Amino acid sequence: MGLAGIVAGVAAGVVGLAAAGVVETLAAGVELTRVRLGVGRRVLLLADLHVHGSPGWRAVWAARAARPDLVVLAGDTWDERTRGFGPVWETLREVARYMRAGVAVLGNHEVWAARRLPLGEGVRLLEDAGFSVLLDSDAEVLGLRVAGLAWREDPRGYRGPLERLARGADLVVVHSPDAFSHLPRGARVVVLAGHTHGGQWCLPVNRSVWTNSRYGYAWGLYRRGESVMYVSRGLGERDPPRVFCHYQAVLIE
């Protein structure tokens, strides 16, 4: 993957919350950030769609603009406000038109909404749309070893599955960026995450003033040892509306 050369020139910790990439505006308040990490495939990170009563068109716009090899859904595709899976299915079906393959993990809101929207039904929906659902498991996808982690309320719970999966992976997909702080020593992997919404309430130009990450991750590119992580601001929210935190999809190349 050439990660050693990438991370050698990356300062410790956060690597520029200006996004460390080229930003393309897809629509008012919707951005596509292009980041070169040498993964060998065009990987589109879509996080936090929070599809409610209508399809998630921001995700469709991003997929159409990016024409990716692989689409990664990093959790919170639906939530407690989602009345049924119809709009979710329409979103996934449209996104799938522009990809060669897809993988998905689940986030906290899918878990919290499971009383009304059963997780098993949601997983089947994702799989029917062409997304491999990875819950503490991995798969070979387009020549990449991709690992996906299930949601955990306590991020210390990521240590076990990361110890088992991270060292052999090219990509690790997880909803919460807090998993990054529990990577095993010696891991050399690209981690893709969401969850934070970039802070949701920001100062102008996406400058985060708060984050729900226990370890302070907001959005952008981070380094830990010889691994890197990109945290997307995501494409939706449950409530309330965003302030100065533009919706974001990320194309990793």
First to last CA, the chain: 11
Per-residue pLDDT of the chain (253 residues; tens, 9 = 90+): 444 333 333 333 454 433 468 999 999 899 999 999 999 999 999 999 999 999 999 999 999 999 999 999 999 999 999 999 999 999 999 999 999 999 999 999 999 999 999 999 999 999 999 999 999 999 999 999 999 999 999 999 999 999 999 999 999 999 999 999 999 999 999 999 999 999 999 999 999 999 999 999 999 999 999 999 999 999 999 998 999 999 999 999 9
Relative to beta strand 144-148, strand 137-141 is: antiparallel
Residue 82 φ/ψ, nearest 5 degrees: -75, 120
In the chain, the number of structural domains is 1
Range of the domain at 119: 3-252
3-state SS, residue 48: coil
Sign of CA dihedral 81, 208, 156, 10: positive
CATH number (domain holding residue 121): 3.60.21.10
pTM: 0.92
Q: What gap in Å lies between CA 112 and CA 104, rounded to an integer?
A: 17
